[in-house]
Structures are given as C-alpha cells and as structure tokens.
C-alpha cells in the first residue's frame, strides 16, 4: 500500500480546539495564534465560528479576529457557520471558506444542532446556494461518523448517504468527524473506503479526536487508503463535550511528526508549529500538550538541568 | 492487508514502567499490581529485574515480589537479568522466563550497559547456555532499533544482524525496542519486514515507547505485517531516561482498545485492566494515564456531575 506524497492539514485549533477550552481567549491571542500557525506553514486554518455568543462565548468576536488578520493570512481562513444568520455574518467578515455542520446520528444532531439530520441538510442546501453566489468555498462536517454518545454504533452506509447529499448540494470538501474519538483504525479506514465509493476521495477529509488515543493510528490507516486531507489541532486543543476532561483533537504536532517520518510533505515547519502550541498553552495556563510538545519540553528541561545555573 | 486474529501482549509495566517512575513501589504494591494484571487476563508479565539495588532502587527485592505471587501468576512472569549474577538470582527466585538486553547502537550499549554490543552478545551467549540447562525461556531485547539518543539514525540492517545473533544463540523471542520513541509507522513496519527476512516473524515482538505519540500508529503498522506480539505498559507507566518528563511505554489500555476495535483477540478484559492502571496511578499519586483511562475518568466525572449530591 502506498501512501500520498503530500498531505494537506486543516488546522482547527482556533475553532474546534478553543471552543472546548474552559478559558476564553481574547481576540488578540486568537489573532496571534492564527498568525503563528500561518507562519509555521499551515495553509488552511479554521479561525472561529459565527454562533451566538451566549451559546459559545469562546467564539465571540470571530469577525474582529478576521478583521485583525493580515490579508495573506485571512486568505487561508475558514469559519464555521451553523445557519444563514452566521453565514451572512461570515461573508460580511470576509471569509472565503465557510464550514457547515451535519451529523450521522439523529440524536446527536438534535442535541448538538437542535434539528434533525434532514433539516440540517435543508439548511446546508440553502447555504450552498448562497455560497455559490458569493464565490465561497464550502466545507461540510459530518459529526459522529464512527460512533455516537447517544446511539452508539453508526453505520458507514448512513455516513455515505449523508456525504453524497453534501457533495450533491455543493460542498467542496467533506470532513468525516469522529467527534467522540471512539473509532479504531480498521473502522476508520473501512468508513473512508465506503464513502469514497460514492464521493471522490480528494473531496474527503479525516477528522479524528484522540479521546481514546486512537487518532494518530486512524490517520495512518486512512492515509493508506490514499486519504490526503486531515483536520488537526495545535497542542491537541479541545476536548469532548460529552466527557469533560478527556483528550481533544489529534495534535497537529504529532501528525506532522508522523508525516515527516513517513516522508510525506505537509509544508509545515515543526519547530515553528511547536512554538505556536507553546504560545497558546502558556495563555491557557497549561503544560505543553501533545506528545511531541511534551518530549521537546522534557528534552529542553533535561538540557537546562545539565547547564550549571540554569536549573 | 489482513492483520492477525489474535495478539499476545507482554505487559512490561511492573518492570520497564516502574523502573522509570520517580517513586519506588514497595513489594506489596508490585505484587498487587501484577496480580491485578494477571486477573485482567495478561498471560505475560515482566515483573522486575535482577540488577544492583544501588543502580535501580525501584527494582529492589524483585525476588521477594516473585516469592509473594500466587503460583499460577508466577508461571506468567518474566524478569530482566543483565548479567550472570542477575541470571542466577532470577533462576533461584523461580523465574521461568528471563529477558536479556543488547542494543542496536554502540554508544547506547556503552552508556546503558557499560559494554559494547559485541560484549553484550557474548554475555547473552553465556546466559543462553545456562537457560538451556535450567529450561528457562529466553527473551532478548534490542534497544534503539529506530533511533539512538547519541547516534541518531540506526540502520535496519544492523538491527537484523543483531536479531540473527540473538536467534542463533537461542532466544525464544526477540523484542525490537524503540527505546526513545522516535520511530514512525513506515519505519517501524519496514524494520519488522527487514528483520523478518532473517528471523521467523513469530519470534519477534514490537516494543514501542510513546515519547512522540507514535506508538499506537507503529503498533498498527506492524500488525499489518503480521507481527502478533507487542510489549506494552499498564497506564503507560515509564518514561524516557534521556528526556525526563516525557511519555513512557505505549499504554496497554490504549492498545487493547485498538485491538478490540479491530476485532483482534487479546484475552484481556479492558475494565479490569483499567482498574489495575487506576490502582498504580493512585499509588504513584498521579491522575489516570493513557487516553482510554483518561476518557473513562472523564466520563465517570461527567456522570457523577449529573447525580445530585455526588459531585
């Protein structure tokens, strides 16, 4: 099995990551984080979401974040918009890519989006028409593709049906989200293979949470199917709303380390990426997160311990 | 690519794990941990090592640990013995499997074992003769198979040469150790494929540290070659002597979760295994370690938060 020579990483830390952190980061911190991520070489960065502030205070003022970004960085930004109001605000803020949400589980859709899957697809259809008019790139997330906190098992067939709908209605990219991180490599790969029968593989992305430690193995298993777009989060920011305290998204640093080792190009400078992770962890008042970051900190600690006067 | 239907896990937490922890566990704690691991279904448990107490105080009184185990648990035990003195003590303590050490890097061998690779193989040869006489199963560890903290890159050819030597001199199993956790999946798989050209695959085991978060992906990639024996450590106990504070061995719980998800039998009961991890983490005064353990704790915390009076 050969794996792709090049992978595109979609950095979701400033959105899917920060929205699940207890501390809300102010605009200046979010702007600095996004610019550091761009400087590290990330070409796709999800910068925030246009949702009511009272629902997700961590994502307040996403418009101000976009306005403060340098234009060449703003060109790499995607934002989440759950409905037409958010969509309009996102377009007004200058977003060139907008992400929309649906789910592969009816119960999850009801609880997370306050509407059923069919209605979320109807909303998506309306936004897709608006996107075409405004020349906006559209990204569709499907949540719970490998399991649901309420329904348990989720059928790959069902995920494929929804992916086909999103593709037909005009999504440029469809991200298959293991929202609660319960997937394991053969299931993840099997799902991608199944969906790729009905939607072209280059239109698909893998989005794995590391709740049960499986995310990197899932990325590798999917890489072996030829999947070449993965969502990840600097410093593994984020968590699981259904298990507060659990691990978040797969850490971008750990993904880049793996891809570097496998000879896969990402265009990302690992050291600068680690600096970005360090920056946001310090703001959050937390130790480095992600294994590579922890190893770098430990190594530097060991080096400092060897230099007299620096311990 | 099909993967094995059944995998044998070698639990190294009580040895490779605990020897790298700051707090030394007394005999009673080590005995209870080992018995809990056996009750969880682990058939191979590395219980300790026969090394001078002043070098590794955490492994003191390994003989007393063995003596205190129930006989059916003692039958599943392996111990590490770096030289003939340790070997004699291990046999006297009733060990039926003994592990010996060598390395794929000359500098690491010198620093870790105070002798070169050639000399470590000579020692191994002498111990192998003694093992045959005493009907002891012999396990050979090769350290630094995917990288060395002093020499950097390690050639798979060199690892294969050493594995062949260990096989010839009578090792029943040869564990390929990524001691510093720098390996990535294609390299890990390529190494196993190379070594398996010269040593039968069923004689090989994979031993991955999670320093850079790659361990589980490496296990999965090697599983795809047919490798069916993996070393792992409950609660991811352990660390990296060259980067204090870094992550330790791959967590047994995370490996079992992955293998369960892939339909691979291990004979291990994940809940009881998590209880064993919980027990040792509480003794060490640390939060749960390993992603699955963290997710379980987070989920239980979330459940408690929903039950009035239990918060």
Task: Spell out the SS3 assignment of A78-114.
Answer: EEECCCHHHHHHHHHCCCCEEEEEEECCHHHHHHHHC
Task: For residue B291, give the nearest of A211, A221, A261 by CB distance.
Answer: A211
Contact A263 B186 (CB under 8 A): yes
| Cα distance between residue A171 and residue B23, in whole Å | 54
| Cα distance between residue A142 and residue A176, in whole Å | 5
Beta-strand runs (E) in chain A: 8-11, 44-49, 77-80, 97-103, 137-143, 173-178, 204-208, 229-232
What CATH class is the domain A8-306? alpha beta
Contact B246 A187 (CB under 8 A): no
Confidence label for A310 from pLDDT (cuts 50, 70 and 90): very low
Percent of chain A residues past pLDDT 90, beyond the cut: 86
More confident residue, B272 or B303: B272
B264 to chain A, any CB pair closer than 8 A? The answer is no
The pTM for the full model equals 0.95
| Cα distance between residue B165 and residue B125, in whole Å | 9
Catalytic residue selected from B240, B262, B281, B306: B240
So what's the pLDDT on residue B108? 93
Q: Is the pLDDT of residue A120 over 50?
A: yes
Half-sphere exposure of A3 (CA within 13 A, CB side): 22
Please give the helix or strand (H or E) that residue B11 lies within, else none: strand B8-11
Residues of A in contact with B187 (CB under 8 A): 261-262
Contact A219 B217 (CB under 8 A): yes
Query: Tens digits of per-residue pLDDT, A140-190?
Result: 999 999 999 999 999 999 999 999 999 999 999 999 999 999 999 999 999
CB-CB contact of A189 with A163 (8 Å):
no
Q: Is the pLDDT of residue A195 over 80?
A: yes
A46 vs chain B: nearest CA distance in angstroms? 24
| Cα distance between residue B151 and residue B154, in whole Å | 8
Active site residue A232: no
B180 to chain A, any CB pair closer than 8 A? The answer is no
More confident residue, B35 or B53: B35
Q: Residue window 212-231, chain B: list those with CB within 8 Å of chain A.
A: 212-214, 216-217, 219-221
Task: For residue B251, give the nearest of A211, A213, A242 by CB distance.
Answer: A213
DSSP character for B148? Answer: B
| Cα distance between residue A73 and residue A75, in whole Å | 5
* Residue A79 phi, psi dihedral angles, 5° rounding: -135, 155
Q: Is the pLDDT of residue B304 over 80?
A: no
B232 vs chain A: nearest CA distance in angstroms? 14
> Complex ipTM, two decimals?
0.95
Residue partners of B283: CB distance under 8 A and separation at least 6: B23, B25, B29
B178 to chain A, any CB pair closer than 8 A? The answer is no
| A134, two tokens | 């405004």
Q: Is the pLDDT of residue B124 over 50?
A: yes
Confidence label for A240 from pLDDT (cuts 50, 70 and 90): confident
For B292, counting Cβ atoms within 10 Å of its Cβ (0-12 exposed, 13-18 middle, 19+ buried), the class is buried
So what's the pLDDT on residue B239? 82
Please give the helix or strand (H or E) that residue B136 lies within, else none: none
Among the residues of chain B, which ranges form H helices?
A: 27-39, 62-68, 71-74, 84-92, 106-113, 117-134, 156-169, 185-195, 215-223, 252-261, 270-284, 291-306
Q: Is the pLDDT of residue A251 over 90?
A: yes
| A22, two tokens | 């207890």
Task: For residue A246, give the nearest of B187, B251, B295 by CB distance.
Answer: B295
Percent of chain B residues past pLDDT 70, beyond the cut: 96
Task: For residue B245, give the nearest of A1, A260, A298 by CB distance.
Answer: A298
DSSP character for A25? Answer: P
Confidence label for B310 from pLDDT (cuts 50, 70 and 90): very low
- Where do we find the tokens 């997160």? A289
* Residue B251 phi, psi dihedral angles, 5° rounding: -75, 130
Contact B298 A257 (CB under 8 A): no
- The phi-psi region of residue B290 (left if phi > 0; otherwise alpha if psi is between -120 and 50; otherwise beta) is left
Mean pLDDT of A113-128: 94
Confidence label for A1 from pLDDT (cuts 50, 70 and 90): low
Across the strands, what pairs with B44?
A: B10
Mean pLDDT of B135-163: 96
Residues of A in contact with B291 (CB under 8 A): 210-214, 246-247
B164 to chain A, any CB pair closer than 8 A? The answer is no
Q: B246: nearest CA in chain A? A: A295
| Cα distance between residue B112 and residue A151, in whole Å | 51
So what's the pLDDT on residue A302? 65
Query: Tens digits of per-residue pLDDT, A255-283?
Result: 999 999 999 999 999 999 999 999 999 99
Among the residues of B40-74, which ranges form H helices?
A: 62-68, 71-74
| Cα distance between residue A269 and residue A260, in whole Å | 10
Angle at B4 between CA B247 and CA A153, to 5 degrees: 75
CB-CB contact of B49 with B86 (8 Å):
yes
Mutate to test the interface with B, among A189, A212, A273 (most CBs of B within 10 A): A212
Contact B212 A291 (CB under 8 A): yes
3-state secondary structure of B294: helix
Q: Is the pLDDT of residue B307 over 60?
A: no
Contact A183 B261 (CB under 8 A): yes
B53 vs chain A: nearest CA distance in angstroms? 24
Instruction: Write down the domain spans for chain B.
Output: 8-306
More confident residue, B9 or B1: B9
| Cα distance between residue A155 and residue A117, in whole Å | 15
Mean pLDDT of B143-148: 96
For A135, counting Cβ atoms within 10 Å of its Cβ (0-12 exposed, 13-18 middle, 19+ buried), the class is exposed
| Cα distance between residue A139 and residue A79, in whole Å | 9
So what's the pLDDT on residue B311? 31
Across the strands, what pairs with A100?
A: A140
Residue of B171, B266, B172, B173 whose CA lies nearest to B219:
B266
Pairing of strands A204-208, A229-232: parallel
Mean pLDDT of B66-77: 95
DSSP character for A236? Answer: G
Q: Count CB pairs under 8 A between chains A and B.
A: 143
Q: Is the pLDDT of residue A192 over 50?
A: yes
């Amino acid at each position: 099995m050969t794996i792709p020579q090049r992978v595109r990483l979609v950095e979701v830390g400033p959105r899917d990551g920060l929205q699940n952190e207890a501390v809300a980061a102010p605009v200046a911190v979010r702007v600095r984080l996004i610019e550091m991520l761009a400087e590290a070489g990330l070409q796709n960065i999800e910068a925030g979401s246009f949702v009511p502030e009272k629902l997700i205070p961590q994502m307040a003022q996403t418009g101000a974040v976009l306005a403060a970004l340098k234009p060449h960085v703003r060109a790499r930004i995607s934002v989440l918009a759950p409905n037409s109001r958010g969509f309009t605000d996102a377009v007004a803020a200058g977003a060139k890519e907008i992400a929309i949400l649906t789910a592969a589980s009816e119960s999850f859709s009801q609880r997370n989006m306050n509407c059923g899957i069919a209605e979320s697809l109807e909303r998506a259809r309306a936004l897709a028409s608006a996107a075409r008019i405004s020349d906006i790139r559209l990204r569709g997330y499907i949540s719970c593709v490998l399991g649901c906190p309420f329904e348990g098992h989720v059928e790959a067939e069902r995920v494929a049906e929804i992916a086909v709908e999103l593709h037909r209605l005009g999504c440029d990219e469809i991200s298959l989200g293991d929202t609660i991180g319960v997937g394991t490599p053969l299931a993840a790969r099997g799902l991608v293979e199944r969906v790729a029968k009905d939607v072209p593989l280059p239109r698909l992305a893998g989005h794995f949470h590391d709740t049960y430690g499986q995310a990197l193995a899932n990325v590798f298993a999917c890489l072996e199917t030829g999947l070449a777009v993965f969502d990840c989060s600097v410093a593994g920011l984020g968590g699981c709303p259904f298990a507060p305290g659990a691990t978040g998204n797969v850490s971008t640093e750990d993904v880049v380390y793996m891809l570097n080792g496998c000879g896969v190009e990402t265009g990302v400078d690992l050291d600068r990426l680690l600096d970005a992770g360090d920056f946001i962890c310090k703001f959050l008042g937390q130790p480095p997160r992600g294994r590579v970051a922890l190893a770098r900190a430990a190594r530097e600690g060991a080096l400092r311990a060897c230099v007299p006067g620096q311990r």
